[in-house]
Amino acid sequence: MEFTTTLHSTRLKWIRRIWRLMLYIYLTIAALIVLIPYFWMASASLKEPGEIFQVGVNFLPKTFYTENYRILFSDYQIVRWLVNSFVVAGIVMFTNMTFTVTAGYAFARLRFKGRDVMFFVYVGAMMVPLQVRLIPSFIIVKELGWLDTYQGIASIQLIEFFGIFLIRQFMLNFPRELEDAARIDGCNWFRVLWQIIIPNSKPALAALAIFTFTASWNNFLWALVVINKPDWMTIQVGLSSMKGEIIPWGVLMAGTFISALPLAILYVMLQRLFVQGIVTSGIKG
């Protein structure tokens, strides 16, 4: 009997290991498939114009053709576009990390009249696409004189409703004991938020930072509407302006590769906190 139990236990362990190995193989293959377009983009940025569209599988360039990058930095305002995108993304991250955190904390912890109704209004606003808000938002920005300005480009994303929802969900799972102890010691709500909540909310803040930075960095439609002067172009609008009757694909791939680097670096730096923040923010509704 004991031998049979041991044999059954050993068999279950091997079955779990085999399933885990199959899962890892599947995820590895899926990750490689997802990364193929990015690898082709980086490879195409180092190819000569005639080599990019050669028939057959040619992921690796025959020779590293760096002329694409030289043309990109000499003939186009790529540095200016990157600076504009970083400034706009910085404004968006600052406002969201400030206002969405305080709003999410208020919806999760404070009790005030109309709290739940206001929160459901915010959730409903998440479902309204940008195309619906485009014309009224443009009229407001134009009346304020914010066309071709950083604040005009960032205005549509100064407060993201999804960020409020994300922080609220995280706060609902935050232990109340820590807050109660701080309140007993005489801390007000703001001090509890600043000294207790925020230092222990790094996963949620990392997820919020990645979401807001990515949304601002990839923002194209709104930036295209409010930007009229080339000096104010963000990286996405600038890359789209490179297309004409003849598209310099190698140069365009070089610019696209450079534009993707900040997002990749940010995600690698905050990956562990990002995954933890997503998991802990979705436990309880």
- Ranges of residues in the chain with a pLDDT under 70 are 1-8, 56-57, 245, 273-285
Residue 45 included in any domain: no
Residue 50 included in any domain: no
What's the pLDDT score for residue 120?
Answer: 86
Q: What is the CATH number of the domain that holds 110?
A: 1.10.3720.10
Residue 44 included in any domain: no
Q: Are residues 76 and 214 in the same domain?
A: yes
Per residue in 7-31, pLDDT (tens digit) is 667 777 888 888 889 999 998 999 8
pTM score over 0.75:
yes
Residue 59 included in any domain: no
Residue 172 included in any domain: yes
- Can you give the residue range of the structural domain that contains 194? 72-281
HSE of 105, CA atoms in CB hemisphere, 13 A? 21
Residue 62 included in any domain: no
Place of tokens 């730096």: 269
What's the pLDDT score for residue 84?
Answer: 96
